[in-house]
Structure 1
Amino acid sequence: MRGLLAGALSLLAVISQSASAVQLNVGDEASVKAAASTIAYGLMKYYTGNNTGDVPGNLPDPYFWWEAGAMFGTLVDYWFLTGDTTYNSVVTEALLHQTGDDRDFMPTNQTRTEGNDDQGFWAMAAMSAAENNYPNPPSDQPQWLALAQAVFNEYASRWDEQTCNGGLRWQIFTFNNGFNYKNSISNGCFFNIAARLARFTGNQTYADWAGKIFAWEESVGLITPRYDIYDGASVAGTDNCTSLDQIQWSYNHGIYLHGASVMYNITNGNTNASNSEGALWKQRVDGILNSTTGLFFNNSVMIEQACEGGNLCDNDQQSFKGYLTRWMAGTTQMAPYTFATIAPLLNSSAQAAAKACTGSPATGFKGIQGTACGFKWTGGTFDGLVGVGEQMNALSAVMYSLVRSVDLPGSKAPVTSTTGGTSVGNAAAGIQTASTIGQLPPVTIGDKVAAGFLTTAVLFSVLAGGVFVIK
């Protein structure tokens, strides 16, 4: 009798879980939006920043500050793709609260441990807000475009040619572990933001920096001739970027793929750009895309190849697939010829991710039972792992399947200052306050202002690019 009762309860649990599991029919917009809504609800149940006494924009332990920035960037895109405004007030409050006193995403509660990549994920959330025409803050508050410009300007001031002939260090301050390491994700944030600012503002200074950053990555071997993208290089002692960490992560491929596609978008058909420049960026897009599809997909389903198979991914790494999804989807909008290759991979990953959103763990998840999302998508079921990364990955996989070819009616490509963008910029953002940033050499006048740019910055500060001085 006891065995029969246990069996009945087990069957009931399976039926209940099946009834509440995330259902997805890729291609059916209503189905995708419903699935995304369910997953987003589960994701936001991890957020505590809107609780009394907590700090807006922060996620609780064990999540680091940068992942909160990544999450709110995801939710900006969630609003853009689905039209769901449920979380807009929370997202806006979080983004603005974490800008800090200097309006540069260096809040006092994070500054002592903040790295260049941490700052970058918040800046890219602001850049997405500008490109998506996410509702602008009140005029007396920091503006999305100006926030991205502030971080760009500070990045330019930290460009370190004393070692490795350039590049950003991982950490901002000398007293943090990792200051003697130059990594692809920090430089990828710089590259991605530079490319997107170039497209949004039309200012060549940003484009020049994007080209400089990508070329530096290639020069030290962090981007190889076959477009493998390695994690980083040591500058300790006499290393000088001769000792490379060759591990490859999905988000590094994604951030450079997307930035390269933006540069392709700028140069392709631009009468001021040489044909060779457009061809070079296309070569880079194609090379990184080919490397990405070979490394990070198994039977057309996305994987984190460096750690997923051995169950070795940490909390940070368990969120990387979501960013690759975001940037692959963005690539289809900037380099439309890639849509035929990328869309089927995103659609199959979306279906697989939804099948992994059937969990009902006893702890660790406060969303709707039966809709907790696991980490691995290749098994066809929930794998027992839950968290912000897992939930955010699945939300990204599902919602980015809504991205359409730019050639189709109803597609919504990111805007620019000349195609409906309303976010207000500030050419001097990020340079007006003084603080010690590492032990870097002084920046030259040539680095601060590109030829002919100073006048443009004065006349067009709303939409202009950057002025580069030490923060």
Structure 2
Amino acid sequence: MRFFPTKKAVGWAFVPALLSTFCNAIELDVNDKDSIKAAAKIAAEGLVEYYHGDEPGQIPGNLPQPYYWWECGAMFGALIDYWYYTGDDQFNQIVINGMLHQVGTANAFMPPNQTQALGNDDQAFWGIAAMMAAERGFPNPPATSPQWLALAQAVFNSQANQWDSATCNGGLRWQIFSFNNGYDYKNTISNGCFFHLAARLARYTGNQTYAEWARKSYDWTKQVGLITPDYKFYDGATVDTNCTHMDRIQWTYNGGIYLSGAAFMYNITNGTGFWADELGAILEAQVVYFKDEKIMYEVACEPYGKCNIDQRSFKAYLARWMGVTTQVAAFTRTKIMNWLTQSAIGAARNCIGGTDKQTCGARWTPDVEAKWDGNFGVGEQMSALEVFQNLLAPSYRPPCTASTCGNSTGDPSAGTGNSLRPGRTNRPATTGDKVGAGFLTTLCLGLLLGGTYWLIA
């Protein structure tokens, strides 16, 4: 089905006329910070028009159909960075309200109202948004609410508790509970998000246990073959074949999540040794996601017009994770910024849809003329926002740590309640001593979870 935002409704009778328009409604000078910020503002305002969780009678932290719950957490991450890069705080309160509404009874982003749409990757996108809020110095929640760092720690701990050595010699399953469709699959994005979050927590807190988990998770992904010797990132593998049968589709966000996770580990280890080699190799392999080695595209589905609702947002995350990579691993800047610059120019050419002639489409590549391609939605709008605002990344300070500019309160035992265990023997997470400036003690309650959800990942 087509989904139209209330303020940007596009009547079918007008589509041919819009498709023939050749003016560039979003002006973008990639060498001018003010121009970049202005383009990002247009894209961000268009994105938020799809969100109604701040309206009376609506649920904070939810996007309307056909969007799944996880994408709202991803959107909040984009808006956190939008505030950081532009200073525009008009969306901050909806982000704070929505994230706090969705934390769930154990403060681990496992809310009862999402029992039919919860996988490890879904949960992790919210946890990563909380981690970003801590690192960016985003306004803290009220003192009586769980804090950003503690929320990220709760997600990490609940997932470390699910490390499954009984099959495939380790890794996270896609789904948390055995009655969910997809429980028999270990996918790269779930394991990549866990690796990524562990790396960011290691850098922020200085706690070596997080770094050890990051390395353990990364090594497993390589050993099982989801990361190939030439640094392709496959989608996932089935448990019943001991992870020998794989889906070899490559998605942009899988490359991006490992690129940035490796960059954080590179930063922790002062740019030497294992992580320097791995980051360099991963970076070179990202070329597969850039048509003619210039402009980002979703290689597995975009050329065929087959990207589904979820997949239309994946470029947003590659752009986001490339941007932060330039901040923690300076040697990546030239290559990444060449890619992002060309991609942003392509995106701006396509942000010409809707009655306002500023709605962003899906395809940025040169084979699409300077016109709207007819696609629109949260994924399209968020992807344009991310590729615009991350042009600013190299000129901004890197993410905070607890010993620099970070001021978020943590709880290293958050999310470790026994009731989080999905019915099998799991190794509980150990995160060492307290780090940072003091911690809240969070009472971890049991969760009532269930349902099914099959996210293409």
Q: How many pairs does the alignment contain? A: 427
Superposed CA offset, 1:107-159 (max 9, x none): 11013431000000000000000000000011110100000000000111000
- Code of the residue aligned with 2:383 in structure 1: it is N
The 1:180/1:382 distance shift into structure 2, 3 A limit, reads: same
Secondary structure of the 2:186 match is strand
Q: Which position in structure 1 is the counterpart of 2:82?
A: 78
Note the 1:9-408 alignment, pairs <5 A.
21-236=25-240, 239-268=241-270, 278-360=272-354, 369-378=356-365, 379=368, 380-405=370-395
The CA distance in 2 between the partners of 1:14 and 1:52, in whole Å, is 33
The CA distance in 2 between the partners of 1:204 and 1:302, in whole Å, is 35
Q: Which position in structure 2 is the counterpart of 1:449?
A: 430
Secondary structure of the 1:233 match is strand
Secondary structure of the 1:113 match is coil
The CA distance in 2 between the partners of 1:413 and 1:306, in whole Å, is 32
Indicate conservation of the 8 Å contact 1:250/1:296, yes or no: no
Indicate conservation of the 8 Å contact 2:288/2:299, yes or no: no
- Code of the residue aligned with 1:351 in structure 2: it is I
Displacement of 1:295: 3.6
Structure 1 stretches lacking a partner, 5+ long = 1-9, 270-277, 362-368, 406-410
- Code of the residue aligned with 2:347 in structure 1: it is A
The CA distance in 2 between the partners of 1:385 and 1:371, in whole Å, is 12
- Code of the residue aligned with 2:316 in structure 1: it is G
Q: Which position in structure 2 is the counterpart of 1:440?
A: 424
Secondary structure of the 1:137 match is coil
Indicate conservation of the 8 Å contact 2:168/2:239, yes or no: yes
Structure 2 stretches lacking a partner, 5+ long = 1-13, 448-457
Displacement of 1:90: 0.8
Displacement of 1:17: 6.5
The CA distance in 2 between the partners of 1:377 and 1:298, in whole Å, is 12
Secondary structure of the 1:169 match is coil
The CA distance in 2 between the partners of 1:34 and 1:461, in whole Å, is 37
Pairwise CA RMSD of aligned residues? 2.3
Displacement of 1:39: 1.1
Indicate conservation of the 8 Å contact 1:201/1:463, yes or no: no
Q: Which position in structure 2 is the counterpart of 1:413?
A: 398
Q: Calculate the TM-score normalised by the size of structure 2.
A: 0.89
Secondary structure of the 2:80 match is helix
The 1:159/1:341 distance shift into structure 2, 3 A limit, reads: same
Displacement of 1:16: 12
Q: Calculate the TM-score normalised by the size of structure 1.
A: 0.86
Superposed CA offset, 1:289-345 (max 9, x none): 111123434351100000000111000000000100000111111110110111111
The CA distance in 2 between the partners of 1:18 and 1:334, in whole Å, is 39
Secondary structure of the 1:118 match is helix
Indicate conservation of the 8 Å contact 1:184/1:252, yes or no: yes
Indicate conservation of the 8 Å contact 1:427/1:461, yes or no: no
The CA distance in 1 between the partners of 2:267 and 2:137, in whole Å, is 19
The CA distance in 1 between the partners of 2:206 and 2:137, in whole Å, is 17
Divergent runs of 4+, >4 A:
13-20
Superposed CA offset, 1:344-368 (max 9, x none): 111111111011101126xxxxxxx
The CA distance in 2 between the partners of 1:62 and 1:20, in whole Å, is 29
